[in-house]
Amino acid sequence: MTQQFYVSPEQLMKDRADFARKGISRGRSVVVMSCRDGIALVAQNASPSLHKLGEIYDRIAFAAVGKYNEFESLRQAGVRYADVRGYSYAREDVTARGLASVYAQSLGAVFTAESKPFEVELVVAEVGRSQEADHLYRLTFDGSIADEAGFVVMGGAADAVVGGLRDTWSADVGLADGVRAAARALAGAATGTAGDGDRSGTPALDPSVLEVAFLERDPDTLRGSHRAFRRIGGPELEIVLQGGQEN
Amino acid sequence: MLPDDAAAAVPRAASTSFADYLGAHHPGLLPSNRSLGPAPATSDASRLAPHATTIVSLTFPGGVLMAGDRRATMGNVIASRHIEKVFPADRSSVLGIAGSAGIGVDLARLFQVELEHYEKIEATMMSLDGKANRLAAMVRQNLPMAMQGLAVVPLFAGFDADRHLGRLFSFDVTGGRYEEHEHHSVGSGSVFARGALKKLWNPHLTEASAVRVAVEALYDAADDDSATGGPDTVRGLWPVVYVVDAAGTRRVPERELEAVAHTIIDARSSAGREA
């Protein structure tokens, strides 16, 4: 008969948290940034098809770092939640707050009850009609939820990227400028020149390792669509990234 | 080797259909899930709810358009003069509904969510044939209601990006799906509209002339079918027309339709003939 050793609850939770943190810190970083004309989502992602950023609903997007299978199942569950809710109530009754709180419950339940916590960190972003109405909810592996202002960085080199962005971000930065600042901070953190990645010359911004999406503030007037989420890729991303180097 | 339950998850993931998900988890929300209870076989519920009428659709080089009149009827009463029966399904397709209006409008809404849901889950658009098949499945689910008089018959049109042309599909209440060529119409006035389309359609239509053909076909349907509404110059109500081409789905503005309707009315008045 095997002997069950006593493990204190504190130790158990700490071990689980350390395990999840270790998994998340291996991943590459994601930046979600509230800008003047929308919310910019920028991820380091070499794959053009395995997305870290996704559309949830009209004005809500999802960004994640960590294990792909785990956050992908959470993303699909979020899309189902939003579509069922929007179909049975009305489209404007789908809110990021509601989704973030069900995500928090689900992550919290997995953290305490399952044999292994989710190794993921998420942001649920909702673009408002004005910048004050933007919401960025950060959810961590244990189900804790934070309502962030300005910008959020998740993933391995998060602290270095935050350092690189802190000076460049301001509330009236535009989407394209925001993407360039985020891309520079991500590239700077990856090469170890964090903190002044935007000033130490201009490191070449490689669009092939970036995944970029916008939540546009006024998609109705821009594109005649109620869906604010738009992926920026290919030639358009190159133009966005080059815009800063000409200045 | 995968454990059995993990392996079973693979075929379960084959369907990312929103309608299937609703059916499994929230069956009460499906439009076809209304039940009339045990009704006698001869019962006809069609007089209980408004009935939506004529939809016409026609192709032109580089696209397809769909138009619907604005009338819904309940027996001999006009239930609505403002109803809209043509809906954009997504960026590259539209659908129109004829038959029981309440179920039809819900079906259109479910279909819109179905396509958007697929696009978000799969990160790609569904093929045009795939969309037509999904719509056929939804119509088939409504068969028990159709047997009691609450039938919905949609018309579906979309732009096929691979073949670079507009295509249209008609359906029957059993879920049969038929690809139509050149033009098609459904609803109570469809016989008269189709007669007009046969004479007015030609393979060299421009978008503007196609809009005129569609409005004129609806005019002819309204002329002979009491359940189809013609252009209403008193209230300023014109047909709902959507155009789908490579650039996407677009609703034709009211003022253009007003001009087209007036042109047709003027031409017919000045001719001074029976038709």
The full 3-state SS of A145-209, as one line of letters, equals EEEECCEEEECCCHHHHHHHHHCCCCCCCCHHHHHHHHHHHHHHHHHCCCCCCCCCCCCCCCHHH
Residues A224, B91: Cα–Cα separation, whole Å: 11
How many residues belong to chain B? 275
Choose the catalytic residue: B16, B53, B233, B263: B53
Tens digits of per-residue pLDDT, A234-244? 888 988 888 75
C-alpha torsion sign, points B261, B267, B269, B273? negative
Is the confidence at residue B193, as pLDDT, over 60? Answer: yes
Is the confidence at residue A197, as pLDDT, over 50? Answer: no
Query: Mean pLDDT over residues B173-196, rounded?
Result: 93
Residues A232, A101: Cα–Cα separation, whole Å: 29
Q: What is the ipTM of this complex?
A: 0.88
Residues B132, B157: Cα–Cα separation, whole Å: 9
Residue of B nearest to A74 (CA): B121
Instruction: Report all structural domains of chain A as residue ranges with CATH numbers, in order of start.
Output: 31-246 (3.60.20.10)
The per-residue pLDDT for B34 is 72
- Chain A residues with CB under 8 Å of a chain B CB are 49, 51, 54-56, 76, 79-80, 83-84, 86-88, 227
Q: CATH code at B91?
A: 3.60.20.10
Do residues B89 and B69 touch, judged by C-beta distance below 8 A? no
If one counts every other C-beta atom within 10 angstroms of the C-beta of residue B38, the result is 6
The answer to whether residue B256 is domain-embedded is yes
Is the confidence at residue B18, as pLDDT, over 60? Answer: yes
Please report where in the chains the tokens 């201009």 appear, as a residue: A202
Residues A131, A149: Cα–Cα separation, whole Å: 10
Do residues A182 and A35 touch, judged by C-beta distance below 8 A? no
Contacts of A49 in chain B (CB under 8 A): 123
What b-and-e string marks burial along A171-188, b requiring 16 or more CB atoms within 10 Å of the CB? eebebbbbbbbbbbbbbb
Query: Mean pLDDT over residues B86-112, rounded?
Result: 93
The answer to whether residue B43 is domain-embedded is no
C-alpha torsion sign, points A201, A202, A204, A210? positive
Please report, to the nearest 10 degrees, the dihedral formed by the alpha carbons of residues A27, A28, A34, A38 taken in order: -110
Q: Report the domain count for chain B.
A: 1
How far is A50 from chain B, CA to nearest CA, in Å?
A: 9
Amino acid identity, position A221: T
B247 touches chain A (CB under 8 A): no
The per-residue pLDDT for B43 is 64
What's chain A's average pLDDT?
87
Longest dimension (CA), chain B: 81
Residues B256, B116: Cα–Cα separation, whole Å: 30
By percentage, how much of chain B surpasses pLDDT 70? 96
Do residues A50 and A141 touch, judged by C-beta distance below 8 A? no
What b-and-e string marks burial along A222-242, b requiring 16 or more CB atoms within 10 Å of the CB? eeeeebbbbbbeeeebeebbe
The per-residue pLDDT for A200 is 46
Residues A112, A243: Cα–Cα separation, whole Å: 47
Residue of B nearest to A58 (CA): B116
* Higher pLDDT pick, B49 / B158: B158
Tens digits of per-residue pLDDT, A153-167? 998 888 888 888 888
B78 touches chain A (CB under 8 A): no
Pairs from B144-148 (Cβ < 8 Å, separation ≥ 24)? B144/B32, B144/B35, B145/B32, B145/B34, B145/B36, B145/B100, B145/B103, B146/B173, B148/B36, B148/B39, B148/B43, B148/B44, B148/B45
The full 3-state SS of chain A, as one line of letters, equals CCCCCCCCHHHHHHHHHHHHHHHHHHCCCEEEEEECCEEEEEEECCCCCCCCEEEEECCEEEEEEECHHHHHHHHHHHHHHHHHHHHHCCHHHCCHHHHHHHHHHHHHHHHHHCCCCCCEEEEEEECCCCHHHCEEEEECCCCCEEEECCEEEECCCHHHHHHHHHCCCCCCCCHHHHHHHHHHHHHHHHHCCCCCCCCCCCCCCCHHHEEEEEEECCHHHHHCCCCCEEEECHHHHHHHHHHHHHC
The answer to whether residue B17 is domain-embedded is no
The per-residue pLDDT for A206 is 81
The per-residue pLDDT for A89 is 94
Tens digits of per-residue pLDDT, A115-127? 889 999 999 999 9
Q: pLDDT confidence of A245, banded at 50, 70, 90?
A: low
Residue of A nearest to B25 (CA): A84
Residues paired with A123 in a beta bridge? A63, A138
The answer to whether residue B41 is domain-embedded is no
The answer to whether residue B24 is domain-embedded is no
CA nearest B225: which of B87, B117, B78, B113?
B78
Do residues A163 and A153 touch, judged by C-beta distance below 8 A? no
B53 is an active site residue: yes
The per-residue pLDDT for A195 is 46
Contacts of A227 in chain B (CB under 8 A): 116
- B123 and A54 within 8 Å at the Cβ level: the answer is yes
Q: pLDDT confidence of B146, banded at 50, 70, 90?
A: confident
The answer to whether residue B39 is domain-embedded is no
The answer to whether residue B32 is domain-embedded is no
Domain limits for position B81 = 50-271
The answer to whether residue B23 is domain-embedded is no
Mutate to test the interface with A, among B111, B120, B121, B243 (most CBs of A within 10 A): B120
> Tokens in use for B242?
């959507």
Residues B18, A71: Cα–Cα separation, whole Å: 20
Tens digits of per-residue pLDDT, B113-138? 999 999 999 988 999 999 999 999 99
